[in-house]
Chains A and B, each alone.
Chain A
Amino acid sequence: AQKITQTQPGMFVQEKEAVTLDCTYDTSDQSYGLFWYKQPSSGEMIFLIYQGSYDEQNATEGRYSLNFQKARKSANLVISASQLGDSAMYFCAMRSKNTGFQKLVFGTGTRLLVSP
C-alpha cells in the first residue's frame, strides 16, 4: 500500500530563515511521483513542486526545493528565506504506477507558522 508520513504536526520559523518540512513515503513501486501542496487558511490547495522517482536532480521552484533521498524514501521540502505569507498547512503527496498514477495519496500535513 502507498503511504505518506509527515511527522511534524507544526513548525515555527522566523521570517527570512530556511525551514525543512519532513516527508517519508512507502511504496513498492519503482515508478512514482512526489508532490508538495500548500493549503492557506482559505482552503484551496496550491501546487508547489514535483519530483519524479527517476529524476536524478532534486527539484527546485523558486524558494522551494525538494531534498529527495530515494534510498531513505524521503522527500523533504525546503523553503528558503521564509515569508509571512508562507504560513499555511503543507501536504506531501504521492502518485505511483501501482495505482495507475490516478490516485494521489496525501500525508496528514504540517502547519508552518512564520513569525516576524
Chain B
Amino acid sequence: DGGITQSPKYLFRKEGQNVTLSCEQNLNHDAMYWYRQDPGQGLRLIYYSQIVNDFQKGDIAEGYSVSREKKESFPLTVTSAQKNPTAFYLCASSKAGASYEQYFGPGTRLTVT
C-alpha cells in the first residue's frame, strides 16, 4: 500500500541531544514537508523540499535541519539549538501543483526533558 511512514511514533530525548525523525514515502511525490504541531494549535511549516537535493526553510526553521538525498526520504534533525523541541511532528508529501492535497504520515511525538 502507498503511503507515508514516520518512525518512531514516540521519541524521548535528553536536553542537549540532537535527534533525527524519519519520514519515508512511496507515493512517488516530488514535494515533501515537515510540520510542527503544539497543543491546541494548527500546523506550522518547518522545512519543505520540492525536489531531490533542494529544500527551503518554512516559518519556523531555526534549530532544525533536513536533507533530501532520495526522492522517498526527508529526515528531520532537531538540534540542541531548538529551544522548545517537545512537540508533535508531522511529515507530508504531495505532487507538484497548487491543487494537489498533501498526504500526511502518522506523526512522531517528541518529548525532550
Interface residues of A (CB under 8 A from B): 4, 31-33, 35, 37, 42-47, 50, 52, 91, 93, 95, 97, 101-104, 106-109
Least CB distance, A43 to chain B, in whole angstroms: 4
B64 within 8 A of partner (CB): no
> CB distance A52 to B58 under 8 Å?
no
> CB distance B98 to A33 under 8 Å?
yes
Complex: how many Å from CA A35 to CA B56? 22
- Number of residues in B with C-beta < 8 Å to the partner? 27
> CB distance A109 to B42 under 8 Å?
yes
B73 within 8 A of partner (CB): no
Q: Mark B35-79, 1 if CB is under 8 A from A, else 0.
A: 000001111110010100000101100000000000000000000
> CB distance A50 to B42 under 8 Å?
no
B2 within 8 A of partner (CB): no
B21 within 8 A of partner (CB): no
Least CB distance, A96 to chain B, in whole angstroms: 8
Q: Which residue of B lies closest to A45 (CB)?
A: B104
> CB distance B45 to A104 under 8 Å?
yes
Residues of B within 8 A of A91 (CB): 42-43
